[in-house]
Homo-oligomer: A and B are copies of this chain.
Protein backbone atom coordinates (compact mmCIF):
# COMPACT_ATOMS: atom_id res chain seq x y z
CA UNK A 1 0.00 0.00 0.00
CA UNK A 2 1.28 3.42 -0.85
CA UNK A 3 0.16 4.75 2.52
CA UNK A 4 2.97 2.84 4.15
CA UNK A 5 5.64 5.03 2.64
CA UNK A 6 3.95 8.26 3.56
CA UNK A 7 5.46 10.29 6.39
CA UNK A 8 3.10 9.91 9.36
CA UNK A 9 3.45 13.58 10.23
CA UNK A 10 1.69 14.65 7.03
CA UNK A 11 -1.53 12.85 8.03
CA UNK A 12 -1.70 12.45 11.81
CA UNK A 13 -4.76 14.18 13.33
CA UNK A 14 -5.50 12.22 16.50
CA UNK A 15 -4.60 8.98 18.28
CA UNK A 16 -7.54 6.89 17.01
CA UNK A 17 -5.21 4.70 14.90
CA UNK A 18 -2.59 4.33 17.64
CA UNK A 19 -2.08 0.92 19.21
CA UNK A 20 -0.30 1.05 22.53
CA UNK A 21 2.23 -1.71 23.16
CA UNK A 22 3.88 -0.74 26.45
CA UNK A 23 4.90 2.15 28.67
CA UNK A 24 8.63 2.76 28.34
CA UNK A 25 8.96 5.22 31.22
CA UNK A 26 7.04 7.53 33.55
CA UNK A 27 8.47 10.53 35.34
CA UNK A 28 6.06 11.65 38.06
CA UNK A 29 8.18 14.62 39.02
CA UNK A 30 8.33 16.06 35.51
CA UNK A 31 4.86 14.78 34.56
CA UNK A 32 6.07 12.94 31.46
CA UNK A 33 5.28 9.54 30.00
CA UNK A 34 6.79 7.66 27.08
CA UNK A 35 4.84 4.98 25.19
CA UNK A 36 5.83 2.46 22.54
CA UNK A 37 3.22 1.48 19.99
CA UNK A 38 2.29 1.54 16.31
CA UNK A 39 -0.24 3.09 13.93
CA UNK A 40 -2.80 0.97 12.08
CA UNK A 41 -1.84 0.49 8.41
CA UNK A 42 1.62 1.91 9.00
CA UNK A 43 4.72 -0.21 9.28
CA UNK A 44 7.29 0.52 11.94
CA UNK A 45 7.33 1.32 15.62
CA UNK A 46 6.05 4.61 17.01
CA UNK A 47 7.18 6.33 20.17
CA UNK A 48 4.87 8.89 21.78
CA UNK A 49 6.20 11.26 24.44
CA UNK A 50 3.74 13.31 26.47
CA UNK A 51 4.66 16.10 28.83
CA UNK A 52 2.35 18.36 30.83
CA UNK A 53 3.11 22.02 30.20
CA UNK A 54 4.57 24.39 32.76
CA UNK A 55 2.44 27.25 34.09
CA UNK A 56 3.05 30.84 33.11
CA UNK A 57 1.28 34.15 33.66
CA UNK A 58 -0.76 33.69 30.50
CA UNK A 59 -2.00 30.17 31.23
CA UNK A 60 -2.70 31.19 34.81
CA UNK A 61 -5.21 33.84 33.71
CA UNK A 62 -7.21 31.12 32.02
CA UNK A 63 -7.01 28.74 34.95
CA UNK A 64 -8.05 31.11 37.72
CA UNK A 65 -11.37 32.25 36.27
CA UNK A 66 -15.03 31.52 36.84
CA UNK A 67 -15.23 28.88 34.08
CA UNK A 68 -12.76 26.75 36.00
CA UNK A 69 -14.59 24.56 38.49
CA UNK A 70 -13.10 23.47 41.78
CA UNK A 71 -13.80 20.08 43.40
CA UNK A 72 -12.91 19.88 47.07
CA UNK A 73 -11.11 16.74 48.25
CA UNK A 74 -10.67 17.69 51.90
CA UNK A 75 -9.64 20.58 54.13
CA UNK A 76 -7.85 20.95 57.44
CA UNK A 77 -7.85 24.31 59.24
CA UNK A 78 -6.49 26.95 56.83
CA UNK A 79 -5.43 24.33 54.22
CA UNK A 80 -7.85 23.19 51.51
CA UNK A 81 -7.12 20.50 48.92
CA UNK A 82 -8.96 20.64 45.59
CA UNK A 83 -8.87 19.58 41.97
CA UNK A 84 -9.58 22.28 39.40
CA UNK A 85 -10.68 21.78 35.79
CA UNK A 86 -9.80 24.45 33.20
CA UNK A 87 -11.27 24.43 29.68
CA UNK A 88 -9.90 22.06 27.07
CA UNK A 89 -8.09 24.74 25.10
CA UNK A 90 -5.97 25.73 28.11
CA UNK A 91 -4.84 22.19 28.78
CA UNK A 92 -2.67 21.29 25.83
CA UNK A 93 -0.11 18.57 26.42
CA UNK A 94 3.26 18.74 24.68
CA UNK A 95 3.36 15.71 22.41
CA UNK A 96 6.23 14.27 20.42
CA UNK A 97 5.71 11.43 17.95
CA UNK A 98 8.71 9.55 16.57
CA UNK A 99 7.89 7.31 13.60
CA UNK A 100 9.39 5.06 12.42
CA UNK A 101 11.45 4.67 15.60
CA UNK A 102 14.49 2.45 15.80
CA UNK A 103 15.66 0.09 18.51
CA UNK A 104 18.06 2.87 19.60
CA UNK A 105 15.20 5.28 20.16
CA UNK A 106 13.41 2.71 22.31
CA UNK A 107 16.52 2.17 24.40
CA UNK A 108 16.97 5.90 24.78
CA UNK A 109 13.49 6.38 26.26
CA UNK A 110 13.23 3.18 28.28
CA UNK A 111 13.86 3.58 31.99
CA UNK A 112 16.59 1.33 33.31
CA UNK A 113 19.59 1.03 35.57
CA UNK A 114 22.45 3.42 34.91
CA UNK A 115 26.16 3.30 35.67
CA UNK A 116 28.92 5.84 35.93
CA UNK A 117 32.02 5.09 33.89
CA UNK A 118 35.31 6.82 34.60
CA UNK A 119 36.68 7.14 31.11
CA UNK A 120 40.46 7.55 31.04
CA UNK A 121 42.06 8.69 27.75
CA UNK A 122 43.09 5.06 27.21
CA UNK A 123 39.53 3.82 27.64
CA UNK A 124 38.27 6.55 25.31
CA UNK A 125 40.66 5.43 22.59
CA UNK A 126 40.25 1.71 23.06
CA UNK A 127 36.53 1.44 23.85
CA UNK A 128 34.44 4.60 23.35
CA UNK A 129 35.97 5.88 20.11
CA UNK A 130 35.89 2.56 18.21
CA UNK A 131 32.28 2.17 19.40
CA UNK A 132 31.33 5.61 18.02
CA UNK A 133 33.01 4.88 14.72
CA UNK A 134 31.09 1.63 14.44
CA UNK A 135 27.65 2.87 15.55
CA UNK A 136 26.95 6.36 14.20
CA UNK A 137 23.47 7.77 14.76
CA UNK A 138 22.38 9.62 11.63
CA UNK A 139 23.20 13.33 11.72
CA UNK A 140 20.85 14.08 8.80
CA UNK A 141 18.57 16.28 10.91
CA UNK A 142 21.58 18.35 12.04
CA UNK A 143 22.69 18.80 8.44
CA UNK A 144 19.13 19.81 7.49
CA UNK A 145 19.29 22.60 10.05
CA UNK A 146 22.80 23.76 9.10
CA UNK A 147 21.86 23.78 5.39
CA UNK A 148 18.62 25.68 6.07
CA UNK A 149 16.46 22.79 4.88
CA UNK A 150 14.60 22.32 8.18
CA UNK A 151 13.45 24.48 11.07
CA UNK A 152 14.60 27.68 9.31
CA UNK A 153 11.79 29.67 10.91
CA UNK A 154 12.95 28.53 14.36
CA UNK A 155 16.46 29.98 14.06
CA UNK A 156 17.07 32.61 16.75
CA UNK A 157 20.57 33.61 15.62
CA UNK A 158 23.13 32.54 13.04
CA UNK A 159 26.81 33.27 12.64
CA UNK A 160 27.57 31.74 9.26
CA UNK A 161 31.36 31.68 9.60
CA UNK A 162 32.41 28.10 8.69
CA UNK A 163 35.15 27.97 11.36
CA UNK A 164 33.65 29.72 14.39
CA UNK A 165 30.00 30.11 13.34
CA UNK A 166 26.90 28.38 14.65
CA UNK A 167 23.12 28.29 14.53
CA UNK A 168 21.21 29.03 17.73
CA UNK A 169 17.67 27.68 17.94
CA UNK A 170 15.20 26.42 20.53
CA UNK A 171 15.87 22.89 21.66
CA UNK A 172 13.12 20.49 20.65
CA UNK A 173 12.15 20.16 24.31
CA UNK A 174 11.23 23.88 24.47
CA UNK A 175 8.09 25.30 22.87
CA UNK A 176 9.66 28.80 23.01
CA UNK A 177 6.54 30.23 24.60
CA UNK A 178 7.83 31.22 28.05
CA UNK A 179 11.29 31.92 29.43
CA UNK A 180 10.68 29.83 32.56
CA UNK A 181 11.92 26.76 30.71
CA UNK A 182 14.12 28.47 28.13
CA UNK A 183 16.28 25.92 26.34
CA UNK A 184 18.26 26.71 23.22
CA UNK A 185 21.09 24.91 21.52
CA UNK A 186 23.95 26.26 19.45
CA UNK A 187 24.98 23.84 16.69
CA UNK A 188 28.40 24.59 15.22
CA UNK A 189 28.90 24.91 11.46
CA UNK A 190 32.29 23.22 11.65
CA UNK A 191 31.92 19.46 11.12
CA UNK A 192 34.03 16.71 12.62
CA UNK A 193 34.08 17.82 16.27
CA UNK A 194 32.46 14.81 17.88
CA UNK A 195 32.48 15.84 21.53
CA UNK A 196 34.36 17.39 24.44
CA UNK A 197 37.13 14.83 23.84
CA UNK A 198 38.05 16.49 20.52
CA UNK A 199 38.39 20.01 21.91
CA UNK A 200 41.79 21.69 22.22
CA UNK A 201 43.24 25.20 22.02
CA UNK A 202 42.42 25.44 18.27
CA UNK A 203 38.76 25.53 19.29
CA UNK A 204 39.02 28.39 21.77
CA UNK A 205 37.90 31.03 19.22
CA UNK A 206 34.88 28.84 18.35
CA UNK A 207 33.93 28.24 22.00
CA UNK A 208 34.35 31.89 22.98
CA UNK A 209 32.38 33.02 19.95
CA UNK A 210 29.47 30.74 20.89
CA UNK A 211 29.52 31.98 24.46
CA UNK A 212 29.71 35.66 23.56
CA UNK A 213 27.25 35.75 20.65
CA UNK A 214 24.87 33.23 22.20
CA UNK A 215 24.63 35.38 25.34
CA UNK A 216 24.10 38.51 23.25
CA UNK A 217 21.35 36.98 21.10
CA UNK A 218 19.50 35.67 24.18
CA UNK A 219 19.82 39.01 25.95
CA UNK A 220 18.35 40.78 22.93
CA UNK A 221 15.55 38.36 22.22
CA UNK A 222 14.55 37.21 25.72
CA UNK A 223 16.09 39.87 27.98
CA UNK A 224 17.90 37.36 30.19
CA UNK A 225 21.34 38.44 31.48
CA UNK A 226 24.30 36.08 31.17
CA UNK A 227 24.37 35.52 34.95
CA UNK A 228 20.98 33.83 34.67
CA UNK A 229 22.02 31.38 31.96
CA UNK A 230 23.45 27.88 32.32
CA UNK A 231 25.70 27.29 29.30
CA UNK A 232 27.11 23.78 28.98
CA UNK A 233 27.97 20.73 26.92
CA UNK A 234 27.05 17.13 27.57
CA UNK A 235 29.43 14.21 27.84
CA UNK A 236 28.49 11.82 26.35
CA UNK A 237 26.41 14.00 24.04
CA UNK A 238 23.20 12.63 22.52
CA UNK A 239 24.60 13.26 19.01
CA UNK A 240 28.22 13.53 17.96
CA UNK A 241 28.33 16.93 16.30
CA UNK A 242 29.46 19.67 18.68
CA UNK A 243 26.59 21.63 20.22
CA UNK A 244 26.21 23.82 23.28
CA UNK A 245 23.15 24.00 25.55
CA UNK A 246 21.75 27.29 26.89
CA UNK A 247 19.11 27.01 29.62
CA UNK A 248 17.55 29.45 32.05
CA UNK A 249 19.48 29.05 35.31
CA UNK A 250 16.36 28.67 37.43
CA UNK A 251 15.01 25.98 35.12
CA UNK A 252 15.88 22.47 36.23
CA UNK A 253 16.38 21.21 32.68
CA UNK A 254 16.89 17.50 31.99
CA UNK A 255 20.52 16.35 31.83
CA UNK A 256 22.10 19.15 33.89
CA UNK A 257 23.57 16.84 36.52
CA UNK A 258 27.26 17.08 37.32
CA UNK A 259 27.93 13.59 35.92
CA UNK A 260 26.69 14.66 32.47
CA UNK A 261 27.11 18.42 32.04
CA UNK A 262 30.21 20.56 31.74
CA UNK A 263 29.84 24.33 32.16
CA UNK A 264 31.20 26.04 29.01
CA UNK A 265 33.23 28.62 30.92
CA UNK A 266 35.00 25.78 32.76
CA UNK A 267 35.64 24.01 29.44
CA UNK A 268 37.25 27.18 28.06
CA UNK A 269 39.20 27.69 31.29
CA UNK A 270 40.45 24.09 31.35
CA UNK A 271 41.78 24.39 27.78
CA UNK A 272 43.41 27.69 28.65
CA UNK A 273 45.09 26.08 31.67
CA UNK A 274 46.19 23.06 29.60
CA UNK A 275 45.79 23.02 25.82
CA UNK A 276 45.25 19.24 25.69
CA UNK A 277 43.17 18.99 28.89
CA UNK A 278 40.35 17.03 27.20
CA UNK A 279 42.78 14.53 25.70
CA UNK A 280 44.39 13.95 29.12
CA UNK A 281 41.49 14.12 31.55
CA UNK A 282 39.48 11.25 32.97
CA UNK A 283 35.86 12.08 32.14
CA UNK A 284 32.97 10.41 33.89
CA UNK A 285 29.79 9.68 32.03
CA UNK A 286 26.52 7.91 32.67
CA UNK A 287 25.40 4.98 30.58
CA UNK A 288 22.25 2.86 30.68
CA UNK A 289 22.56 -0.90 31.03
CA UNK A 290 20.95 -1.56 27.67
CA UNK A 291 23.12 0.81 25.68
CA UNK A 292 25.66 -0.85 23.45
CA UNK A 293 28.38 1.37 24.94
CA UNK A 294 27.61 -0.20 28.34
CA UNK A 295 27.99 -3.65 26.81
CA UNK A 296 31.40 -2.72 25.39
CA UNK A 297 32.59 -1.68 28.85
CA UNK A 298 30.95 -4.71 30.48
CA UNK A 299 32.68 -7.06 28.03
CA UNK A 300 36.03 -5.73 29.25
CA UNK A 301 35.07 -6.16 32.92
CA UNK A 302 35.19 -2.42 33.62
CA UNK A 303 31.60 -2.26 34.81
CA UNK A 304 29.04 -4.87 35.71
CA UNK A 305 25.33 -5.22 36.30
CA UNK A 306 24.21 -5.42 39.88
Point out residues on A near B: beta carbons under 8 Å: 7-9, 12-16, 18, 20, 23, 26-33, 35, 48, 50, 52-57, 60, 63-89, 91-101, 111, 113-118, 140-141, 144, 150-151, 154, 172, 175, 178, 180-181, 223-225, 227-230, 232, 249-253, 256-263, 265-266, 269-270, 273-274, 277, 280-284, 286, 303-304, 306
Contacts and interface: CB of A to CB of B under 8 A. Distances in A.
Given A7-B78, A71-B92, 17 more contacts: A9-B72, A12-B72, A14-B69, A15-B63, A26-B54, A27-B252, A30-B30, A70-B95, A77-B150, A79-B98, A83-B95, A85-B89, A85-B91, A86-B91, A113-B228, A230-B258, A269-B282
A32 B140 CA distance: 37
B31 A250 contact: no
A27 B253 CA distance: 11
B266 A8 contact: no
A31 B50 contact: no
B114 A65 contact: no
Given A14-B69, A95-B83, A227-B303, A55 B31 contact: yes
Contacts of A31: 30-31, 52-55
A118 B81 CA distance: 36
Nearest to A56: B26
Contacts of A274: 273-274
Contact of A77 (B57, B80, B81, B141): B141
A115 B227 contact: yes
A249 B286 contact: yes
Contacts of A256: 257-259
Given A15-B65, A64-B20, A54 B83 contact: no
B82 A98 contact: no
B9 A116 contact: no
Max chain B Cβ within 10 angstroms of own Cβ: one of A64, A232, A273, A283:
A64
A251 B85 contact: no
A44 to B, nearest CB: 9
A88 B85 contact: yes
Nearest to A81: B96
Contact of A252 (B29, B78, B141): B29
Contact of A18 (B53, B64, B111): B64
